Structure 1
Amino acid sequence: MNWDLSTQPEIVQRAAEYGLIGWDIAQRWLVSPAAWSQFALLAAAFVLAWLIARRLVPALRRLLTPPADSTSVLSRARGFLLIFLPLVLPVLAYALTGIGEQITRSIFGSGAVIAFGKGLILFLAARAFVRDIVTDPFLKVLGRYVLLPVMLLYAFGILDDVTLRLSETTVAIGSIRFSALALLRGVIAGALLFWLGRWSNEQSSAYIERQEMRPATRQLAAKAAEVVIFGAAILLLMSIMGIPLTSLAVLGGALGVGIGLGLQRIVANYISGVILLLEGQATIGDYVQLDSGEAGTIVKTTARAMILETFDGRWIVVPNEDFITTRIVNYSDQGSANRYDVSFSVSYDTDINRIPDLIAAAVSTHPGVLQEPEPPDVELRGFGDSGIDFGVEFWVSGIDDGKNKYASDVLFLIWNALKENDIEIPYPRRVIEMRPAADSA
């Protein structure tokens, strides 16, 4: 085949060169007794592996399948090993092919065909691993587009050539130069490291949530674990890509300048968030009122802000710094009791000495009203234009937040108690005196 490819792109010339090499190898294999014996050994190894796997896999499945109601460590380990059963056939075929390769090399002094077959078996094993064992979508994509092409290049024996070409090709990013191989390795390693970091962070967060500690402490521990995990991932990635760790000093200087110029508030919010987590003064589930008058329940905390949900379903994003530098009223404080009071009036015809005991007893019947730290207390507030003004103070375990209508319920109890005892609730009255006009002279 004397084709003139000098005018074609280099990649076409390189592909044609590899094609001619492959054609030459195939011709030599077709006329070589050693090659035919290796083909036979490959076929025999694969058939024998298939026959063994056909009997071995059902036995292993019965042995490794844990009882349905068992949750022990051994049962989980058996279940974990069970997912690797699709690799039994390619592993057996690879082992038997290796034995055949030793026999062939001892007889003919050559094993190129059977080595190629071993590479293809490894590719099949990798394919089974990606298709049948890996369940995470990200790892499936990584296996499909990274692992399988690498195994295919290895099977055809050109992985070293491709690696050498990538290492000789340089990529410039500003004043920094990387080899294409280092950049590709960094991308793959970075993807794996950050996936592993995300998985580790989820596992550590789940473990921390199961521990007996204050909610604020749990949040702080979870965020600290997240910083450590992803910090270690970044350092390891820099090491893999060959970036000297001394460059972190330059990065730290740049961050310092950025903070000095315009990131003060952002950094202040991050530091305030850590302080809030340490002190535990405001955590998820607390009902707080801002200095501006808006109020809501804390439903989410981030490194930069607190998220409040109001009664009408609106979310308010409050910077962490505001919880440190402004006045915030926390009505919940992790479920402590709160005191409320409501006002009412009775007519001037009422024997007011009966009112305190009567109303205190009525309010005490509410299931949410506490007797500690103090039972309901009725006070005489003053003498109004239309009636005598009273107020009742009471303690509840919670807040009057819309779901718990403590003030409304207590007013209903006061109304019913006054009506049952024939006590009049006054309403505004005006007395108008009509005087006759003076006689004109």
Structure 2
Amino acid sequence: MEWDLSEQPPIVRKAAEFALQGYEIALTWLVSPAAWSQFAILIVAYLAAVFVARRVRKPLTRVLTPPDDSSSIFTKPRLFLLLFIPLLMAVFAYAFAAIGEQVIRSVFGTGSVIAFGKRVFLLIAARIFVRDLVSDPFLKLLGKYVLLPAMALYAVGLLDVLTERLNETIIQLGNISFSVMALLRGVIAGAILFWLGRWSNDQSASYINRQEEMRPATRQLAAKAAELLIFGLAFILLMNIMGIPLTSLAVLGGAIGVGLGFGLQKIASNYISGVILLLEGQATVGDYVELDNGESGTIVRTTARAMILETFDGRWIVVPNEDFITTRVINYSDQGSANRLEVAFSVSYDTDINLVPDIIVEAVSKHPGVLQSPEPPDVELRGFGDSGIDFGVEFWVNGIDDGKNKYASDVLFLIWNALKAHNIEIPYPHRVIKMRNAPAVE
């Protein structure tokens, strides 16, 4: 049966050519004793693989599964090998088919059917790998739409043909030309490299942050340096994979320099300011700072461009790094350093004020958060008010007076109770009203 395809598009004619070749190969296999023998070996290899995989799955799982409380150096390698248990059937099928291929080639001098079967077993292994072993969403997407189609084309013998055709298809952009295959290779390699870069960056940052003997600012600087190194290497590798010489990036580097000089100078300034802050350790994660405009909060995150503050009411404030260099910033250093607080109170004019300092110092010192060093609580006479005598007590605490530390409130409670215990009156405003031309009271 023949069809006239001369008027059809080239892709249709090519597809018909491949279909005809496959049809002829199938007919050859159907009438060939060697082909029937190879089909039989493939079936036997598959059944044997299913049987052996079922027999060894449970014992192998028991051997590789570490105890719940295990912390030896072999725990992670055993868990890693345990992930590949679902691949047992496909691996055994490929191995048995390879052994059968050697026998068939020695008898008939050909093994094309078994070679096709081995490629199918590899496709099955790739499908199991993507379905059961890969858990990362990005890698699963990459495996589903890149690995599996490539393995399917390899199984039917069309991968080399498609690769050659993509290499021959050239895209021209001005003076730059590249093949479609180079573009696809760059996209796939770039996705994998930068995923590996992200994963490596997370691992290195986790390791660096566990080094408690290092200063917090030093840990952040080391993590940033590791991030730049990892993604820089990934970029260089990607350029080499795509066949782009690094010398050709000189023009791009010059354009970036011009951009930094004009539109990106603020970004560059913030980035350099962030490096200076990390080197000097002026502000780091966990510090409580107050900005020049009155806003305050705890630094919860640092980025290359800005620092993020969290206020007491849960709001996040993004502050450019440059502001920490060019403006006045008060750092209360909520990482264990002492801070002095002050609360005011008043007593009645009927009070013997010489007794007040000792009473208040004793009361305030009972608070577990009040420090005796660098100075114990100190009571000062501030003035004589309209309604009473004004005092202030200064005391040192480890931290700041925020939502979780109610130092001022607790100290005021202690002052109130101490004054009441000593029968010292806390004044409140009194007013005497005189009425003119008031009628006489009989």
Give me the TM-score of the superposition, normalised by structure 1. Answer: 0.93
Amino acid at match of 2:299: I
Q: CA deviation at 1:259?
A: 0.8
Q: CA deviation at 1:77?
A: 1.7
1:80 alignment partner, SS class: helix
Partner of 2:147: 147
Using a 3 Å threshold, how does the CA distance of structure 1 residues 385 and 38 change in structure 2: closer, same or farther? Answer: closer
Using a 3 Å threshold, how does the CA distance of structure 1 residues 121 and 426 change in structure 2: closer, same or farther? Answer: closer
Using a 3 Å threshold, how does the CA distance of structure 1 residues 14 and 83 change in structure 2: closer, same or farther? Answer: same
Q: CA deviation at 1:270?
A: 0.8
Partner of 1:234: 235
Contact 2:334 2:400 in 1 (8 A): no
Partner of 2:360: 359
Partner of 1:390: 391
Q: Distance in 2 between matches of 1:343 and 1:381?
A: 9
Q: CA deviation at 1:339?
A: 0.8
2:67 alignment partner, SS class: coil
Q: Distance in 2 between matches of 1:46 and 1:425?
A: 93
Partner of 1:34: 34
Contact 1:281 1:333 in 2 (8 A): no
Partner deviation per Cα, 1:5-24 (whole Å, 9 max, x = no partner): 22222211111110011111
Contact 1:282 1:333 in 2 (8 A): no
Contact 2:334 2:399 in 1 (8 A): no
Q: CA deviation at 1:337?
A: 0.9
Q: CA deviation at 1:156?
A: 1.4
Q: Distance in 1 between matches of 2:164 and 2:382?
A: 92
Q: CA deviation at 1:333?
A: 4.9
Q: Percent identity?
A: 73
Partner of 1:222: 223
Of stretches 248-257 and 172-181 in structure 1, the one that deviates more from structure 2 is 172-181
Amino acid at match of 1:353: N
Partner of 2:196: 196
Of stretches 285-294 and 49-58 in structure 1, the one that deviates more from structure 2 is 49-58
Q: CA deviation at 1:435?
A: 9.7
Using a 3 Å threshold, how does the CA distance of structure 1 residues 18 and 72 change in structure 2: closer, same or farther? Answer: same
Partner of 1:306: 307
1:102 equivalent to 2:102? Answer yes
Partner deviation per Cα, 1:384-415 (whole Å, 9 max, x = no partner): 34433222111111111233222222222222
1:122-161 → structure 2 map (5 Å cutoff): 122-161=122-161
2:368 alignment partner, SS class: coil
Contact 2:335 2:399 in 1 (8 A): no
Partner deviation per Cα, 1:104-127 (whole Å, 9 max, x = no partner): 222222222221112112211222
Partner of 2:440: none
1:3-22 → structure 2 map (5 Å cutoff): 3-22=3-22
Q: Distance in 2 between matches of 1:420 and 1:48?
A: 91
Q: Distance in 2 between matches of 1:236 and 1:155?
A: 30
Partner of 1:211: 211
Of stretches 379-388 and 29-38 in structure 1, the one that deviates more from structure 2 is 379-388
1:281 alignment partner, SS class: coil
Partner of 1:78: 78
Partner of 1:169: 169
Partner of 1:50: 50
Partner deviation per Cα, 1:223-282 (whole Å, 9 max, x = no partner): 111111111111101110111111232222111100111211111111111111222221
Partner of 2:24: 24
Amino acid at match of 1:165: R
2:350 alignment partner, SS class: coil
Partner of 1:68: 68
Q: Distance in 1 between matches of 2:264 and 2:35?
A: 69
Q: Distance in 2 between matches of 1:96 and 1:224?
A: 50
Provide the aligned C-alpha RMSD in A: 2.0
Partner of 1:121: 121
Amino acid at match of 1:316: I
Q: CA deviation at 1:183?
A: 0.7
Amino acid at match of 2:142: L
Of stretches 427-436 and 304-313 in structure 1, the one that deviates more from structure 2 is 427-436
Where structure 2 has 5 or more consecutive residues not aligned to the other structure, the ranges are 438-442
1:146 alignment partner, SS class: helix
Contact 1:97 1:118 in 2 (8 A): yes
Partner of 2:376: 375
Where structure 1 has 5 or more consecutive residues not aligned to the other structure, the ranges are 437-441
Q: CA deviation at 1:305?
A: 1.0
Partner deviation per Cα, 1:281-329 (whole Å, 9 max, x = no partner): 2122211111111111212211111111222222221111111111111
Amino acid at match of 2:335: Q
Q: Distance in 1 between matches of 2:258 and 2:35?
A: 68
Q: Distance in 2 between matches of 1:432 and 1:51?
A: 106
Give me the TM-score of the superposition, normalised by structure 2. Answer: 0.93
1:405-424 → structure 2 map (5 Å cutoff): 405-424=406-425
Amino acid at match of 2:328: R
Q: CA deviation at 1:422?
A: 2.5
Q: Distance in 1 between matches of 2:139 and 2:300?
A: 33
Contact 1:186 1:240 in 2 (8 A): yes
Q: Distance in 2 between matches of 1:334 and 1:69?
A: 34
Of stretches 411-420 and 268-277 in structure 1, the one that deviates more from structure 2 is 411-420
Q: CA deviation at 1:78?
A: 2.0
Partner deviation per Cα, 1:116-146 (whole Å, 9 max, x = no partner): 1121122112222222222222222212221
Amino acid at match of 2:355: R
Partner of 1:273: 274
Using a 3 Å threshold, how does the CA distance of structure 1 residues 402 and 149 change in structure 2: closer, same or farther? Answer: closer
Q: Distance in 1 between matches of 2:432 and 2:56?
A: 105
Q: Distance in 2 between matches of 1:98 and 1:109?
A: 15
- Aligned residue pairs total 436
Q: Distance in 1 between matches of 2:18 and 2:222?
A: 56
Q: Distance in 2 between matches of 1:88 and 1:408?
A: 67
1:110 alignment partner, SS class: coil
Using a 3 Å threshold, how does the CA distance of structure 1 residues 152 and 385 change in structure 2: closer, same or farther? Answer: closer
Partner deviation per Cα, 1:143-198 (whole Å, 9 max, x = no partner): 22211221221221222111100100112345422111111111111111111111
Q: Distance in 2 between matches of 1:40 and 1:387?
A: 107
Partner of 1:439: none
Using a 3 Å threshold, how does the CA distance of structure 1 residues 333 and 401 change in structure 2: closer, same or farther? Answer: closer
Q: Distance in 2 between matches of 1:258 and 1:169?
A: 35
Q: Distance in 2 between matches of 1:132 and 1:75?
A: 21
